[in-house]
Chains A and B, each alone.
Chain A
Amino acid sequence: MHEWSLAQAIVESVVEAANNKKAKRVKTLEVEVGSLAMLDKDIILEAIKTLSESTKLEGAEIKIYEEETKFRCKKCGKTWSFNEEKEEIEKRWEDSKIKDEYGTDDLPIHYFPELIFTMTSCPSCKSKDFEIIGSREITIKSVTIEV
């Protein structure tokens, strides 16, 4: 549950970029969250809104959307999605979950999405030689400013 610190880094970076471009304010901000990191997008939205009060980001139109993380096996070509096997992974890695001060249990991929290579393999040939397609964590997709 590190959504607040991610939000804070996003707000600081966007405000800094806006200042560098001598913008009056930020008009829109788009953030993409990959399903793999299991981030809570409502918390991120709330955090960004709260943290942007009295900055150039205040009042901007903020959009946060989730993108399903997919995988492609480099050996046999099989494509599959994280969401399909999420429940099964949660069960298998139950004892590796990380507790936090809010009482939430998070899988290690919440902090290190790339650990998915440890936690799963290709459903058809069992190889670990697969790649991640699309977003895996959180990225700023677009920012528009008013100069």
Chain B
Amino acid sequence: MEIEFKNKLVEKNTAKIKKIIMVCSGKGGVGKSIISYALTKAISKNGKKVGLLDLDIHGPVEQLFFRKRSLFGNKEGLEPVYSDSIKVMSLGFLSKDEPIPIKGRYKEEILENLLSEVTWNSLDFLVVDMPPGISDELFFLSRNFREKLSAVVVTTPSLLSLNVVKRMVKLLHQEKVKIVGIIENLSYFVCKHGEVIRPFGEGVEELEGEKVIGKLPIDPKLEEIVALEEEIDYANTFWNSIKRVAEIIERS
């Protein structure tokens, strides 16, 4: 008799998470990671218990937003880093700056461990920073968390990005993953004279029947958040837009 038992641990360590929000994108470089972090922060500031899981196995960056970076073991597994009222887990905490070349079936196994070993305890929301595109990670989550899973999809207004994101939205529909909405990043900036400029195109209001729930401005101060360890609200135009998106996610 062959018996699988890892799923028991996944169930146990995720049982008290009320909602899991995947932050997906069609392509890389659309700002998915900083948006994941900012959403987590905004939800936390609204008094909710929130966690942030970096599932971008090959390029984890969420650890960079936090000053505390050591993990601790406990009887049940691994305690996420608790920093700034946010629980965080990223392989970036464990791999220094070395490459993480995990492929094929090993990928599936480390994903399972990321959910079976980390003791999140009770959370209102777990925000998941997904790798770009259609990935094993996406199928893994939708297979394991039918009920509490939903997605936000990040795009830029460019035609190329919109085309790829369209496929992503179709896939999410096919997999019956609930979509909270589309986030359009790098949407516009307001110049000195108050004129709104949209350098990457006009963008859209909806895609495949899903509404755009936020258009985020280009905010040059965002880069400094990591470089100078500034608080996220330092990039105030971006932060104000993110707060509104976070409210929509919380109500979803």
Q: Which residues of A are at the interface with B, using a C-beta cutoff of 8 A?
A: 1-2, 4-6, 9-10, 12-14, 17, 21, 96, 98-101, 104, 106, 108, 110-115, 117-119, 128-129, 132, 136-137, 140, 142-145
Contacts and interface: CB of A to CB of B under 8 A. Distances in A.
B106 A99 contact: no
Task: Give me the 8 closest cross-chain CB pairs, A-B, nearest first.
Answer: A100-B73, A13-B5, A108-B94, A9-B8, A114-B110, A128-B101, A9-B5, A114-B106
B1 A145 contact: yes
B64 interface: no
Contacts of B109: 113-114, 136-137
Interface of B: 1-6, 8-9, 12, 70-78, 91, 94-96, 98-102, 106-107, 109-110, 113-114, 117
Nearest to A143: B1
8 contacts: A2-B75, A13-B3, A112-B114, A114-B106, A114-B107, A118-B95, A118-B102, A128-B99
Contacts, number: 107
Contacts of A100: 72-74
Contacts of A98: 70-73, 78, 94
B106 A96 contact: no
Given A2-B77, A98-B73, A106-B73, A117 B8 contact: no
A60 B3 CA distance: 16
B94 A112 contact: yes
Contacts of A13: 3-5, 8
A118 B98 contact: yes
Contacts of A117: 100-102, 106
Nearest to B11: A9
B95 A5 contact: no
Q: Which of A9, A12, A106, A108 gathers the greatest number of chain B CB atoms within 10 Å?
A: A9
A100 to B, nearest CB: 3
A5 B9 contact: yes
